[in-house]
Structure 1
Amino acid sequence: MIAAFFPAQSVAQENIRGIFFENISPHLLGVRLINRRNRVEDHYVFDPNTKVHIDTKLTNLTLSAQLITSSFPIDCCEWTIVDNGETVIIEYLEDKNRCYCKIK
């Protein structure tokens, strides 16, 4: 049996199925992904300042995300459509306690 190994940098992120999340805020990130075909929901919580990959074969998922602070939640995006291979970056504006989702 012959096996070929490739460095991680040689595989383009767009060719990996799933959705990537970058929480570059100092708060926990709560995410809800909804399968638009059958309305099944998945919930995730990500640590501050982390990059995470969610493996999924599904496309056109609906995303809702909010930061979880010690006193109140901060809504970043609601009912946003994301697709396989995309990256969701959570941008945090500390001076205004606001955030938004940047999709690339």
Structure 2
Amino acid sequence: MRIFHLATLADWEAAQAAGAYTTSTRGVTLEQEGYIHASRADQWEGVRAAFYADVTEPLVLLEIDTDLLDVPVVEEPPAPGVAETFPHVYGAIRPDAVVGVTAL
């Protein structure tokens, strides 16, 4: 399955150098949140509009192949009382699991 994650170009470049992507969401680390926020193909544009509209630095859309991850991906709501589910990645993402990078 393919899932998507919005990232700053700086965070993605740092992940490639370090060998692991560990940004959960804008300004929040995997360690702080416990998982990395991701979206399905039909969700990422709404996430961008809701949470990244005011970002002025370059953004990229990471396309992640879940078959290449060595950590669990769980579909769950992002907050209590929210019906819609999103894929949450419970661990660092290896750069080789990212099969596409699109500049936004």
Tell me if TM exceeds 0.5: no
Structure (1/2) with the larger helix percentage: 2
Instruction: Point out the structure with max Rg over C-alpha.
Output: 1
